[in-house]
Amino acid sequence: MTVNNLWYKQAVIYELNVRGFYDANSDGVGDLAGVTAKLDYLQHLGVDLIWLLPIMKSPLRDGGYDVMDMQDINPNFGTLDDFVTLVKETHRRGMRIMVELIPNHTSDQHPWFQASHDPSHPEHEKYKDYYIWSDTDQMFSQARIIFLDYEKSNWTFDPIRGQYYWHRFFHHQPDLNYDNPEVQRAMLRTVQFWIDLGVDAIRVDAPPYLFEREGGSSENLPESHAYYKRLRSFVEAYSPEIMLLAEANQWPEETIKYFGEGDEFHMNFHFPLMPRLFMALAKSDRTPIDKILARTPELNKSCQWGIFLRNHDELTLEMVTEDERKFMWDFYAPEPEMRLNLGIRRRLAPLLDNDQRKIRLMHSLLLSFMGSPVLYYGDEIGMGDNIKLRDRDGVRTPMQWDDSINGGFSDVEPQKLRIPVIDNEVYGYQKVNVKAQLADPSSLLNWLKIMIVIRKQHSVFGEGTLTLCSPKKKSILAYVRENELEKILVINNFSSKPQKISFEEMGIDDVELQDVLNLYQPVILEGRELELEAYGFRWLKVGPF
Ligand code: NOJ
């Protein structure tokens, strides 16, 4: 078999929360065996790469991003053997697996921190510099606080050591000290460990914050980039088909640096694009997308954007202006409980008023715009959220498989579920579930499956260039995707009204067109115009044929 090292450029990625996907051993918590049991579902959906939210040993105070042991599985989720089985079964179905690397911090329950903070610990000497300690809470004062709703400072006093420790996220997640070469090495060993277990890709959590230096924001420092280049060359030498994905939530000018010269990360999320897709829809105006694309440089051939609508966190509004944030909050999060830190803790369907037209339009964009699309579990059936739950739990509720007890997620008594299943009139598991949607040819799930099949027939979506068209109507976002094989024009209507599109205006005049979403039927334009229904979209292959 020839190895395709650029496989990630054609991948449809599916992010899932192991804890909330399927409970195979009936203890109320989703587990690895549960994911294995549902692999056929993911394969039939058309998933290429399964991204597992953190599965390492953890007290789960931050969804597993608070790690206690980077080289072991959380016993609630299963064992290393279960993981190996999952990897094997995933590969057998032609899919791949991505796990998390959380290099920036650990849980305060991690043995390294236990030894570091306690001078009487037998291993204190070895670990005392694994974290960032200070006698005061004054250093790096220009660094912003990320979890604004929970933390007042990036320093917390530790009474046992009698010093402050540095943390960019929760106070129970101390940051590791990358000026210590031992820490740098330990992380590479962790990467090696997961590669040895057979993973295909690694999502690197919170990369901008690895190092900190006085006199600036302590984000995106050259020292951090140098370390990621080292990580990449290690991976390249050890297992060159592994893909590294960065979660650098930054403006495009900074994000682009995480690709290096094609020698840092293979993929990075386009964070600033995501809220602008929602903004454009809300305002029926593509301008926010045009503007952010104008700031988005071309990528090196081996690099790829990861694009997404929703994920396991709040819809972050860090990479927008203050006015834009206010607009987004007013429009999409009218109730205070819907807001979190600098974001909105809601799922896709409720954000879009459960309007199928808008949900499908946004998926048309996700699947046809630049980069590799990342789907968030449950969004394929239009699951709802629960804003009464704490922090981000409201968007991490159990997957709704059918209309049986706990939505088919688990057969324990409902009170035993750590996160309750959604149970309301609109989004409850009785109504919104996989089984019902599989049986309904017009369901969101069945529609999305077809869309994914169609996307996969056209490598241009994963690898082609993207050129924006400039129709006069701002409610229309149109672009041409092109590679050596073909050219596809995609037109999206952000308006609640039908719109006439002039092909002359878009510079695509006098050409033959075929409707990619409708069996390649020829498209007859009347007077070089085409009408798009409210929130409609078309994918049109451009001739000559
Ligand atoms: C980003 C993750 O997506 C988020 O869930 C987590 O809380 C922070 N990093 C801290 O690890």
Q: What number is the average pLDDT over the span 154-167?
A: 98
Mutate to test the pocket of ligand 1, among 68, 268, 313, 340 (most ligand atoms within 8 A of CB): 313
pLDDT of residue 3: 58
Q: How many CB atoms lie within 10 A of CB 228?
A: 22
Is residue 247 annotated as a catalytic residue, yes or no? yes
pLDDT of residue 345: 98
What's the token pair of residue 86?
């999952």
d(CA 88, CA 82): 10
For ligand 1, whether the C-beta of 206 sits within 6 Å is yes
- Predicted TM-score (pTM) of the model is 0.98
DSSP-H helix ranges across 154-199: 181-196
Mutate to test the pocket of ligand 1, among 16, 58, 65 (most ligand atoms within 8 A of CB): 65
Catalytic residue among 66, 100, 247, 285: 247
pLDDT of residue 508: 82
For ligand 1, whether the C-beta of 269 sits within 6 Å is no
Which ligand 1 atom sits nearest the alpha carbon of residue 66? 11
Catalytic residue among 31, 205, 264, 380: 205
Q: Is the pLDDT of residue 27 over 80?
A: yes
Q: What number is the average pLDDT over the span 79-87?
A: 98
Whether the CB-CB separation of 492 and 364 falls below 8 Å is answered with yes
Which ligand 1 atom sits nearest the alpha carbon of residue 65? 11
What's the token pair of residue 300?
């090196």
Is residue 108 annotated as a catalytic residue, yes or no? no
Q: What distance in angstroms lies between residue 147's CA and the mean position of ligand 1's atoms? A: 10
Q: Is 35 helix (H, G, I), strand (E, B) or coil?
A: helix
pLDDT of residue 1: 40
pLDDT of residue 418: 92
| β partners of residue 105 | 175
Which ligand 1 atom sits nearest the alpha carbon of residue 105? 11
Share of residues in the chain with pLDDT > 70 (%): 99
- For atom 11 of ligand 1, the residue with the nearest CA is 65
Q: What number is the average pLDDT over the span 237-259?
A: 97
φ, ψ of residue 203 in degrees (nearest 5):
-90, 125
For ligand 1, whether the C-beta of 380 sits within 6 Å is no
d(CA 100, CA 79): 16
511 band by pLDDT with thresholds 50, 70 and 90: confident
- For atom 2 of ligand 1, the residue with the nearest CA is 205
pLDDT of residue 371: 97
Whether the CB-CB separation of 488 and 542 falls below 8 Å is answered with yes
Mutate to test the pocket of ligand 1, among 68, 167, 205, 250 (most ligand atoms within 8 A of CB): 205
Q: What distance in angstroms lies between residue 52's CA and the mean position of ligand 1's atoms? A: 13
For ligand 1, whether the C-beta of 170 sits within 6 Å is no
Q: Look at residues 130, 121, 128, 209 and name the one whose alpha carbon lies nearest to residue 167.
A: 209
pLDDT one-digit tens code per residue, 265-292: 999 999 999 999 999 999 999 999 999 9
Selected residue with higher pLDDT from 508 and 203: 203
For ligand 1, whether the C-beta of 62 sits within 6 Å is yes
Report, in angstroms and rounded to the nearest whole number, the Rg of the chain calculated over CA atoms: 24
Q: Look at residues 200, 236, 240 and name the one whose alpha carbon lies nearest to residue 87.
A: 200
Q: Is the pLDDT of residue 244 over 50?
A: yes
Q: Look at residues 108, 98, 122 and name the one whose alpha carbon lies nearest to residue 66.
A: 108
Residue 131 has what DSSP assignment? Answer: B
Q: Is the pLDDT of residue 2 over 70?
A: no
Q: What number is the average pLDDT over the span 404-424?
A: 97
Q: What number is the average pLDDT over the span 94-119?
A: 98
What's the token pair of residue 500?
């006439």
For ligand 1, whether the C-beta of 166 sits within 6 Å is no
Q: Is the pLDDT of residue 434 over 60?
A: yes
Q: What number is the average pLDDT over the span 143-155?
A: 97
Q: What distance in angstroms lies between residue 31's CA and the mean position of ligand 1's atoms? A: 20
Whether the CB-CB separation of 234 and 161 falls below 8 Å is answered with no
Mutate to test the pocket of ligand 1, among 169, 209, 250, 340 (most ligand atoms within 8 A of CB): 169
Q: What is the mean pLDDT of the chain?
A: 97
Residue 64 has what DSSP assignment? Answer: T
What's the token pair of residue 46?
């058309």
H helix and E strand count, the chain: 16, 24
pLDDT of residue 4: 77
pLDDT one-digit tens code per residue, 373-390: 999 999 999 999 999 999
